[in-house]
């Protein structure tokens, strides 16, 4: 297991990412002063985002259904607990955006190779959903 988002598990046989990027910000209020730099006051954490990207090749590893499951989870609008394979807890996250692009199509129009990006944003830990993936609205 690479990571779990709620009950959805990122792993080789379903959906594996090859890159993880995280950006974290902190907020500081600014108060102008005469003849000096503005005074800054720490007011708390800011946005925290994670981007997971990779390539799905169903003939080798992974399933297209995995992206559909993530879309269902995003449609539900819930926040999901995120835990990595080492057991580190990342807190509650919402799925903000999913991008995918297919190439090397079969005669039936099915992509043999699908590049994907999943963008997540940190939410209040009190928003964590306990619903299993795929129980949200369907497309």
Sheet holding 8-10, edge to edge: 8-10, 3-5, 80-84, 89-105, 111-123, 36-56, 19-33
Which pLDDT belongs to residue 106? 86
Q: Where are the domains of the chain?
A: 3-26+41-127
Token pair in block for residue 49 = 């985002």
CA atoms in the 13 A half-sphere facing the CB of 130: 1
Q: DSSP class of residue 57?
A: B
3-class SS of residue 67: helix
CB 121 within 8 A of CB 98: no
What integer pLDDT is reported at residue 7 of this predicted model? 92
Q: Which two tokens stand for residue 51?
A: 């981007």
Q: For the domain made up of 3-26+41-127, give the CATH fold.
A: Alpha-Beta Plaits (3.30.70)
Provide the pLDDT for residue 132. Answer: 58
Cβ(94)–Cβ(77) under 8 Å?
Answer: yes
Digit-by-digit pLDDT tens for the chain (139 residues) are 899 999 999 998 889 999 999 999 999 999 999 999 999 999 999 999 999 999 988 888 888 899 999 999 999 999 999 999 999 999 999 999 999 998 889 888 888 899 999 999 999 877 777 665 555 443 3
């Amino acid at each position: 297991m690479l990571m779990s988002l709620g009950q959805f598990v990122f792993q080789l046989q379903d959906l594996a990412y090859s890159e993880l990027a995280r950006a974290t910000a902190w907020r500081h209020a600014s108060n102008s002063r005469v003849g000096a730099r503005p005074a800054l006051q720490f007011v708390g954490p800011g946005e925290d985002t994670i981007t997971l990207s990779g390539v799905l090749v169903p003939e080798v590893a992974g399933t297209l259904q995995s992206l559909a499951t993530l879309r269902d989870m995003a449609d539900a609008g819930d926040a999901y607990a995120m835990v990595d394979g080492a057991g580190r807890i990342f807190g509650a996250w919402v799925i903000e955006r999913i991008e995918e692009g297919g190439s090397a199509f079969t005669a039936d129009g099915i992509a043999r190779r699908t590049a994907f990006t999943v963008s997540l944003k940190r939410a209040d830990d009190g928003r964590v959903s306990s619903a299993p993936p795929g129980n949200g609205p369907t497309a």
